[in-house]
Amino acid sequence: MAFRFEELKIWQQAFELSNEIDLLSQTFPKRELFSLSSQIKRAADSVALNIAEGCIGQSTLEFKRFLGFSLRSAIEVVSCLFMAKARNYIEENVFKSYYEKYEVLCKMITKFRATL
């Protein structure tokens, strides 16, 4: 692997979830294309992108800062999931599954950040 971030389990998980959220957002109504669909996709992408960007090796403090951005973006995805559920775009079981996946990812990022 050419880049350090590729080896990080937190990046791998964030990348996988980003792709899953992209597919999920495609099931939202067309009227949400430029609002909730776009927002949840950008937030999910941002989790992986900030991990990768922070991993470039400038400093540990800088990496921790980018991991903080990743956490905020992950929470934004969860908030979007609440909205999607409230608007009946996703079923309870789908919401619960992604809620749990993002809860695990947030814990992983938090623990990784604490080790730096």
pLDDT digits (tens, 9 = 90+) for 58-105: 899 999 999 999 999 999 999 999 999 999 999 999 999 999 999 999
pLDDT of 1 higher than 90: no
- Answering whether pTM is above 0.75, one says yes
- Give Cα separations from 75 to 29, 48, 53, 79 (angstroms): 23, 13, 19, 6
Give the residue numbers spanning the domain of 33: 4-115
Note the pLDDT of residue 95: 98
| 30-61 tens-digit pLDDT | 999 999 999 999 999 999 999 999 998 789 99
Q: Both tokens of residue 60?
A: 């540990």
Q: How many domains, the chain?
A: 1
Per-residue pLDDT at 49: 98
What is the predicted pLDDT for the residue at 65?
A: 96
Question: Encoding tokens for residue 1?
Answer: 């692997």
Handedness of CA 34, 36, 41, 43 (dihedral sign): positive
What's the chain's average pLDDT?
96
Residue 9 maps to which CATH number?
Answer: 1.20.1440.60
